[in-house]
Amino acid sequence: QQQVKQSPQSLIVQKGGIPIINCAYENTAFDYFPWYQQFPGKGPALLIAIRPDVSEKKEGRFTISFNKSAKQFSLHIMDSQPGDSATYFCAATEFNTDKLIFGTGTRLQVFP
Amino acid sequence: GAGVSQSPRYKVAKRGQDVALRCDPISGHVSLFWYQQALGQGPEFLTYFQNEAQLDKSGLPSDRFFAERPEGSVSTLKIQRTQQEDSAVYLCASDEGSMETQYFGPGTRLLVL
């Protein structure tokens, strides 16, 4: 049973485009929603994270939109660059735990 | 500063062999996690330590998997009698115990033949 559902599985955009990756969850005990970026041969690295008391968070070119009532959140990458080509994972943790529950990942390719 | 390191980076084992995977967390990090990442999938939680105490081992897939962190620093994940389905990347992560940012190591890629 996939606790965090992520789509799309892969995404191809041109440089400067705005890829959007979506995630949905059912567990209302989730209270922390990070996004991780992973390059081939490397471990995931935290990109940006949000808690459910906020509807949007922006850090540089990365923005999370959060819809608590719909139990959905998404990552937007503004002015995407070829260096953003990587696999992106959404994740969630339950209140008072650190255990990360990951989505299945989105492979993003940004072409010049 | 040094990040999380893991060794070996690659391990090839024959089916039935025992393997041991090492994780050196960031110095001073209280929490340590092990995750298993199958090809093309997201990491899946295996187990969690706070200092030397193993507080959650609910993700270990079978009793062939065993993890320890005897002095609250370095951790070892041991897999006994490896099977082909154990082939995956094993990721270690650590954090300050703040329930937020986990820092991941590069992983150990295990291939069981």
Residue A96 — pLDDT band, cuts 50, 70, 90?
Answer: confident
**Residues 6 or more apart from B63 whose CB is under 8 A from it?**
none
Residues of chain A with a CB closer than 8 angstroms to some CB in chain B: 6, 32, 34, 36, 41-46, 49, 89, 91, 93, 96-105
How many interchain CB pairs under 8 A, A with B?
59
Chain B residues lying within 8 Å of A97, measured CB to CB: 56, 99
Q: Say which of B59, B91, B99 has its CB closest to residue A43.
A: B91
Show the tokens assigned to A88.
């992106």
Do B112 and B104 meet the contact criterion of CB atoms below 8 Å apart?
no
Contacts of A49 in chain B (CB under 8 A): 100-101
Give me chain A's average pLDDT, please.
Answer: 95
A102·B93 Cβ contact <8 A: no
Nearest C-alpha of chain A: how many angstroms from B58?
10
Percent of all residues in chain A with a pLDDT value above 70, rounded to a whole number: 98
**Confidence bin at B49 (pLDDT 50/70/90):** very high
Q: Which chain A residues have a beta carbon less than 8 Å from that of B57?
A: none
Burial B81-104 (b: 16+ CB within 10 A, else e): ebeeebbbbbbbbbbeeeeeebbb
Q: What angle do CA A7, A8, A12 make, to 5 degrees?
A: 150
pLDDT in tens, B85-100: 999 999 999 998 766 6
What pLDDT is stored for residue B112 in this prediction? 98
Out of A43, A49, A99, whose CB is closest to B106?
Answer: A43
β-pair type (A45-50, B75-79): unpaired
User: Which chain A residues are within 8 Å of B21, Cβ to Cβ?
Assistant: none
What is the model's pLDDT at position B22?
Answer: 98
Read off the pLDDT of residues B3-22 as tens digits, 9 standing for 90 and up.
Answer: 999 999 999 999 999 999 99
A97 pLDDT band, cuts 50/70/90, is confident
- Picking from A61-70, A71-80, B47-56, B95-104, which range would have the lowest pLDDT averaged per residue? B95-104
pLDDT one-digit tens code per residue, A19-41: 999 999 999 999 999 999 999 99
